[in-house]
């Protein structure tokens, strides 16, 4: 049986560490502050933002969510960002994606002060990560790295195959793991839809990170014995046996891959819970910097 790499357990440990850091900051007169801008009524976005609020509450971070209607003008979002950029009580700013179609997502994300960009999506932070001098690590990839390290599967010296090259998962986790740094220093291969034969690469992988958004992208015949697998995917599939009529699965065919794996992250309960925790970590880091 493969060991399960449970993000929800690792998250609890990191939260304990963060609580101590927040207390120390408060003793020095700094309370970490996060502002979230949420535009429109996307139900999934509302759930994420609610969970972010709960995490802040658990840790003693001051959080405020500004909700705008779906037809709000882009200028309103830019105005709010400007206000938060200039507010010393605000250490982290997050604009919940996706934004309504009439808004220019790039323009909005670029308006955030890179020093308050706790999502790590600003090009300054993307560039700093690339050259090995990161400030904020993007949350999901940072969570994946923590899952590997804290489960005793240090990527150093290993061959990591990432399947998926998005700007929010595939590319940043590649950038994190290839750096000559502790908890990284891996040999990284990245696959995508242009890859001739994904299995040719995954079969050689010590660690596979699957982030495609398609259930069953990684099947049992595509992996070697003893592989470590991080399944980033979150996909809804119909399931009449569930009250909601669906269940969540990852991008990995768990039942086929688990028997061959040394360790594997489940879905749900794997990567998912780590993302918000790393957002909290970035917010605390941003606050800390104000007194360093």
The site string for ligand NAP over 204-243 (x = CB under 6 A, - otherwise) reads -------xxxx--x--------------xxxx--------
Give dist(CA 196, CA 70) in Å, integer: 41
Region for residue 94 given its phi and psi (left: phi exceeds 0; alpha: psi -120 to 50; beta: otherwise): beta
Those residues with Cβ within 8 angstroms of residue 227's Cβ, 6 or more apart along the chain or in another chain: 205, 206, 207, 208, 257, 260, 261, 262
76 is catalytic: no
Q: 32, 33, 120, 170: which one contacts ligand NAP (CB under 6 A)?
A: 170
- For residue 154 the two structure tokens come to 């240090």
User: Which residues ranging from 29 to 88 are in contact with ligand NAP (CB under 6 A)?
Assistant: none
239 is catalytic: no
Q: How far is the CB of 142 from ligand NAP (least distance, A)?
A: 11
Instruction: Identify any residues that bridge with 231 across adjacent strands, giving them in sequence order.
Output: 210
Cα(first)–Cα(last) distance of the chain, in Å?
46
Q: How far is the CB of 16 from ligand NAP (least distance, A)?
A: 21
Which residue's C-beta sits nearest to ligand NAP?
166
179 is catalytic: no
Query: C-alpha distances in angstroms, 23 versus 26, 134, 285?
Result: 5, 25, 13
Q: Does 247 bind ligand NAP (CB under 6 A)?
A: no
Interface region with ligand NAP, contact rule CB under 6 A, candidates 66-74, 85-93, 104-112, 168-176 = 168-176
Q: Does 272 bind ligand NAP (CB under 6 A)?
A: yes
R_g of the chain computed on alpha carbons = 19
**CA-based torsion, 252, 258, 261, 262: positive or negative:** positive
Residues that bind ligand NAP (CB under 6 A): 140, 163-166, 168-170, 191-195, 198, 211-214, 217, 232-235, 271-272, 275
User: Which residue numbers are catalytic?
Assistant: 52, 96, 119
């Amino acid at each position: 049986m493969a060991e399960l790499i449970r993000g929800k357990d690792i998250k609890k440990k990191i939260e304990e560490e963060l609580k101590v850091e927040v207390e120390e900051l408060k003793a020095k007169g700094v309370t970490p502050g996060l502002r979230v801008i949420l535009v429109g009524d996307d139900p999934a976005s509302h759930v994420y933002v609610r969970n972010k609020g709960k995490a802040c509450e658990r840790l003693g971070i001051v959080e405020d969510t500004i909700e705008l209607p779906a037809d709000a003008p882009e200028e309103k979002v830019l105005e709010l960002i400007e206000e938060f950029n200039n507010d010393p009580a605000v250490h982290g700013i997050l604009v919940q994606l996706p934004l309504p179609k009439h808004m220019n997502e790039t323009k909005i994300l670029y308006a955030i002060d890179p020093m308050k960009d706790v999502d790590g999506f600003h090009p300054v932070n993307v560039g700093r990560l690339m050259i090995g001098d990161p400030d904020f690590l993007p949350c999901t990839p940072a969570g994946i790295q923590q899952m590997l390290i804290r489960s005793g599967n240090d990527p150093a010296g290993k061959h990591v195959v990432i399947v998926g090259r998005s700007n929010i998962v595939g590319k940043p986790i590649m950038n994190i793991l290839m750096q000559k740094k502790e908890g990284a220093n891996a040999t990284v291969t990245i696959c995508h839809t242009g890859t001739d034969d994904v299995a040719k690469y995954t079969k050689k992988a010590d660690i596979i990170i699957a982030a495609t958004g398609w259930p069953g992208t990684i099947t049992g015949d595509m992996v070697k014995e003893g592989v470590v697998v991080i399944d980033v995917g979150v996909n809804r599939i119909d399931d009449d046996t569930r009250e909601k009529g669906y269940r969540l699965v990852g991008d990995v065919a768990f039942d086929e891959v688990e028997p061959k794996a040394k360790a594997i992250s489940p879905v749900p309960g794997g990567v998912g819970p780590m993302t918000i925790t790393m957002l909290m970590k970035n917010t605390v880091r941003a606050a800390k910097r104000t007194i360093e």
